[in-house]
Amino acid sequence: MNIFQKMSLATAQIEKVAKNLKVEMGKDKNGNVKSYKAVSEADVLDAVKPIEHELGIYSYPISRKILETATLTTAKEYNGNKTESTQLFMRIETVYRFVNVENPEEWIETTVYGDGIDNGDKAPGKAMTYSDKYALLKAYKVETGDDPDKEASQELKKVDNAKKTYDNNPKADKVDDESFRKIVNSMTPNEVVATAEYFKVKSLGDLTKEQAAVIMKKRGLE
């Protein structure tokens, strides 16, 4: 079989992978743990590796490229004590290759993207794991249950709400429209959330002109 025939047969044989991984996202203001379900890398590999071995397919990331990095700073206050925590954000592009073991000159590639956030040194690893996992899921058309596109994520909703807050409640000391849009367009959804938390505003539409100026200077948007 050629690589296309092998990939097609693998797609037919790999079964649905359930979302068994519980990912915690910290706690809300009431102390309740926020979490969501996801597909683990181990479950994806358990589903894919035996089929690849049986059909003679070898898959691996042939290249990676860092697209974006940022340091997210969050300020918190408890009993009058202020603390700051930082996290590294990284977005990478991965080219994943699927090779016909019986004819190594025959292969298929797919390009995927992955984000990673961590307060230590694990952001690159998380981004690579995410991209590799989804390269396999998408290349083999593996079902995982819920459709991530059926509802906008909470972070993207916050970006949209930030715009609405500005449009509906303009004040003289608030960030102007042009600066607001420059700031939001320069940020990932996670950065929008982290920045709002740092300046203690409900949304970036509530930033003052002075706060917006600080952000724009730091991000080179002036």
Smallest CA-to-CA distance from 58 within 108, 93, 15, 94 is with 108
Q: CA torsion 97→98→101→102, rounded to 10°?
A: -110
pLDDT band at 25; cut points 50, 70, 90? low
| Domains of the chain: total | 1
The answer, yes or no, to whether residue 117 has pLDDT greater than 50, is yes
| pLDDT for the residue numbered 189 | 67
- The alpha carbon of residue 56 and the mean position of all alpha carbons in its chain are separated, in whole angstroms, by 32
Distance separating alpha carbons of residues 67 and 33, to the nearest angstrom: 31
In a domain, 168, yes or no: yes
Phi, psi angle pair for 215, to nearest 5°: -65, -45
pLDDT band at 27; cut points 50, 70, 90? low
In a domain, 18, yes or no: no
Mean pLDDT for all residues in the chain: 81
In a domain, 98, yes or no: no
In a domain, 72, yes or no: no
| pLDDT for the residue numbered 82 | 78
What percent of the chain lies above the pLDDT cut of 90? 38
Collapse the DSSP code of 134 into the 3-class scheme (helix H, G, I; strand E, B; otherwise coil) and give the result: helix
In a domain, 136, yes or no: no
Smallest CA-to-CA distance from 17 within 151, 138, 149, 153 is with 138
Between 5 and 215, the higher pLDDT residue: 5
| pLDDT for the residue numbered 139 | 95
Averaged pLDDT for residues 119-146: 89
In a domain, 130, yes or no: no
pLDDT band at 155; cut points 50, 70, 90? very low
| pLDDT for the residue numbered 179 | 84
The string of pLDDT tens digits covering residues 42-52 is: 999 999 999 99
Supply the range of the domain harboring residue 196.
152-216
pLDDT band at 159; cut points 50, 70, 90? very low
Contacts of 158 (CB under 8 A, 6+ apart): 189, 192, 193, 196, 203
| pLDDT for the residue numbered 1 | 93
In a domain, 126, yes or no: no
Distance separating alpha carbons of residues 51 and 53, to the nearest angstrom: 5
pLDDT band at 191; cut points 50, 70, 90? confident
Maximal CA-CA distance, the chain: 69
**Cα angle 187-192-197, degrees, rounded to a multiple of 5:** 145
Smallest CA-to-CA distance from 98 within 207, 1, 198 is with 1
In a domain, 204, yes or no: yes
